[in-house]
Amino acid sequence: MSNKTTDKSYLEAVNEAISEELASDEDVVFFGEDIGMYGGAFGAARGLWEKYGSSRVVESPISENSFTGIAIGAALTGLKPIVEIMFMDFITLAMDQIVNHGTKFRYMYGGQVTVPIVIRTPGGGGRRYGSSHSQSLEGWFLRVPGLRIAVPSNPSDAKWILRYAVQDKNPWLVVESKKLYGTRGKLGNGLRLPIGKAEVLREGAEITIVTYSRMVHESMEAAEVLKAEHGIDVEVIDLRTLNPLDVETVFDSVKKTGRAVVVEEGCLTGGVGAEIASRISENCFDILKVPVKRIAAPDSPVPMSPVLEDFVLPSAGRIISELKDFL
């Protein structure tokens, strides 16, 4: 493979990953609503139906539970399905198939079967879609045994983690922030870091921010402002995956800074931040100078009003304000 890197948008990276998997492995099939001629609600499937045909790119009825179940059955027979759930909010309709079947079969049958399925879904808010199209529900799935969860924050990870997941024998949930689809970056030739390894994007000495997906960008912006305008030195960690969860990188950072802040877009109560904060407290208690802080959305549906949505969702400005108070 060439050593050249290519600049692509996040959305183009996802499309390229699916196309390359369809081209390289005839067992890969793609299920989802409007992924045929229309190319998907956000364009992730654009051009794939024309290139690979309706037997590989299967446009599904509006029944998430049904086509997710079909995909799980296909995985049990040896195929490698990719499923697109148009909005993460709609994944609630497929919870039975994912939680009670797709993630359990390998354990129930003592490893005699595997379920190599990848469920992709656009999550999060920021696009004025309202309460039923803007949720970040990955915290629900963090507690499901057997389910791998990816939360890529950049085009390169979006492509290469997806390609890895398609060929893995475990079921995967890949959460793609809608607000990141237009962001651009270098794709490279493969994963720069192994699956399950978090990345320290910015080194710092005073506070550790642990975050993922779109909040990586908000946290990096906040860290730069805090350093330039207030002299506060922030370390930023991009988790990349929630399962596997790289707690060792997090612990090493917290042992250096003595302060930990977890930033997520989802609601505060029972979220990803609660789990990470708990693990930090359990393992780094003697080192922490202050209790672990969480920055998240309030326990409220995401409003459609631009002013209200901007108020509810965490932002660089809010991170700056809360970290100044935190110190």
Q: At what angle do helices 272-284 and 247-257 cross, to 10 degrees?
A: 60
Q: Is the dihedral of CA 240, 76, 43, 62 positive or negative?
A: negative
Q: Is the dihedral of CA 256, 237, 141, 164 positive or negative?
A: negative
Q: Identity (one letter) of the amino acid at 129?
A: Y
Is residue 91 within 8 A of residue 39, CB to CB? The reply is no
The answer to whether 133 is a known catalytic residue is yes
Choosing from 84, 133, 138, 264, which is the catalytic residue?
Answer: 133
Distance between CA 185 and CA 8 in Å, rounded?
6
Is residue 316 within 8 A of residue 324, CB to CB? The reply is no
Choosing from 64, 138, 235, 265, which is the catalytic residue?
Answer: 64
Can you tell me whether residue 171 is helix, strand or coil?
coil
The answer to whether 64 is a known catalytic residue is yes
E-assigned strands of the chain? 7-9, 28-32, 57-59, 80-84, 118-123, 148-150, 172-177, 184-186, 199-202, 207-211, 234-238, 241-243, 260-267, 293-297
* Residues listed for the chain: 327
What residues are labeled active site?
64, 133
